[in-house]
Amino acid sequence: MSALPERPPAGTAGPTDATGRPRSGRGPRAGATPASALDHLWLHFTDHSAYPDGSGPPVIVSGEGARIRDSAGRTYLDALAGLFVVQAGHGRGELAEAAAAQARDLAYFPLWSHAHPSAVELAERLTEHTPAGLDRVFFTTGGGEAVESAWKLAKQYWRICGRPGKHKVLSRAVAYHGTTQGALSITGIPALKQMFEPLVPGAFHVPNTNIYRAPEHLRHDPEAFGIWAADRIEEAIQFEGPETVAAIFLEPVQNAGGCFPAPPGYFDRVRAICDRYDVLMVSDEVICAFGRTGGMFACTGMGYVPDIITCAKGMTSGYSPIGAMIVNGRLFEPFRTGRGMFAHGYTFGGHPVSAAVALANLDLFEREGLIDHVREQAPAFRATLERLRDLPVVGDIRGEGFFYGIELVKDTSTRQSFDEAECERILRGYLSPALFDAGLYCRADDRGDPVIQLAPPLIVGQAEFDEMEGILRSVLARVPEML
């Protein structure tokens, strides 16, 4: 894989950015500091009371490769690719230039009864990588919209097929699928939903594939656990009534809860169950696509064929927002032949600039062999993280490709987790700031059991794996003192 081009050394904030390049547009934005960030900005998923007077969130001003730099001039290893997004790394001039070129040609046009070349080409390019049959692309601006679109499509598709009762959806416990009301209903994290009830009715949840927390008798038998977990889906379909279930949403590797890969045989069995009951299988690849787990689309590498793929994040490596719902042609057929119109869309869905950047990103993936790089380096990444198992708080290390979760426990022999107060003290009070101060941007999360999530840009190698392990080791070693 080729190295990133050399850049001039970092300068101070001013007319150039932190990598020494002249800043285009409206000139320097040197005024943003952690304190001023709180004057008017409302941060997402953020407890604003957590900032004592005069402090504020880190302000990230620039990035280069796998490094980011804050307004105080400190650099960090970006071990989360922003938010599972920046596959190609930061500071890629060619992606910025693709955006500029498209904006000059045609900055905007909607995909409402019109097309533009970038969307046409991108739809074609994406379907070169999808499993056979998934050849129709509906663009959105992000992942939650893709999930929302998939539920709406599933409802309308079954209605057109004369089965209007099929409107319910299934998904898995602790899974995150987005924040719009439909996607939030599909999300399986009660704490994110309660304040917004009543949500869209008809979303039901089944167990996820966390074998570390599986019933005792299944913990050491992945095949049996896979059968057990898939059969919970069949049970839920039968319980709700097959004539009422439209679709199931599953991530190839579930992110929330800390990277749950599927046990062997699981997806084959889920596919067979979906076929048996006419339930559409949606592979929510908002995180897993575009190389994250070692394939352009994760389902192809894992050997299953969904009816719908939802994707976003890494499609442009974050240089411009876009998402997509990619469907099997048979789901499009009734719409193609005039039996219905999908009365659904977004002003910015498939935005020309984003579509052009996505095309340039796909070119970059091919030219630099990013997917092969992930496949080749994944065993080394895993082996490096496995070294952390000697720490008394590391309960489990799991994931795939460049996508890992490290579950923290109070007692590795009993798998006892931390209670809520301990989580607060350890995750938010200690780990998040300590890891960041030590130069590692990643995520300490407790939407399920407490985990550290790692998903670096796909350009990293052994040097960065060692750096992550070293920082995690020094910070995690001190957790017992915090109890």
Binding site for ligand PLP (CB under 6 A): 142-144, 147, 176-178, 251, 255, 284, 286-287, 312
Q: How far is the CB of 318 from ligand PLP (least distance, A)?
A: 11
Q: How far is the CB of 418 from ligand PLP (least distance, A)?
A: 24
If the CB atoms of residues 318 and 475 are measured against ligand PLP, the closer one turns out to be 318
- The alpha helices in 68-162, defined as continuous H runs, are 81-84, 93-106, 117-127, 143-160
- CA distances (Å), 155 to each of 94, 138, 334, 407, 415, in order? 40, 16, 13, 37, 41
Q: State phi, psi for 186 to the nearest 5 degrees.
A: -75, -35
Q: How far is the CB of 81 from ligand PLP (least distance, A)?
A: 12
Q: 10 Å Cβ neighbour count for 101? A: 13
If the CB atoms of residues 209 and 384 are measured against ligand PLP, the closer one turns out to be 209
Q: How far is the CB of 410 from ligand PLP (least distance, A)?
A: 28
DSSP state of 401: T
Say if CB 203 and CB 185 are below 8 A apart: yes
Say if CB 308 and CB 289 are below 8 A apart: no
Say if CB 300 and CB 131 are below 8 A apart: yes
If the CB atoms of residues 69 and 172 are measured against ligand PLP, the closer one turns out to be 172
Site of tokens 């319910």: 168
Amino acid at 411: D
Q: How far is the CB of 282 from ligand PLP (least distance, A)?
A: 10
Say if CB 354 and CB 314 are below 8 A apart: no
Q: How far is the CB of 351 from ligand PLP (least distance, A)?
A: 14
Question: In this structure, are strands 308-311 and 280-284 parallel, antiparallel, or unpaired?
Answer: parallel
If the CB atoms of residues 451 and 471 are measured against ligand PLP, the closer one turns out to be 451
Q: How far is the CB of 24 from ligand PLP (least distance, A)?
A: 26
Beta strands in 267-344 (DSSP E): 280-284, 308-311, 323-328
Q: How far is the CB of 154 from ligand PLP (least distance, A)?
A: 16
- Look up residue 20 and give its two tokens: 């020494």
Site of tokens 């040097």: 463
If the CB atoms of residues 148 and 464 are measured against ligand PLP, the closer one turns out to be 148
If the CB atoms of residues 16 and 180 are measured against ligand PLP, the closer one turns out to be 180
The span from the CA of 148 to the CA of 165, in Å, is: 19
Q: Nearest residue to ligand PLP, using CB?
A: 143
Alpha carbon 132 to its chain centroid, in Å, reads 24
If the CB atoms of residues 88 and 315 are measured against ligand PLP, the closer one turns out to be 315
If the CB atoms of residues 255 and 316 are measured against ligand PLP, the closer one turns out to be 255
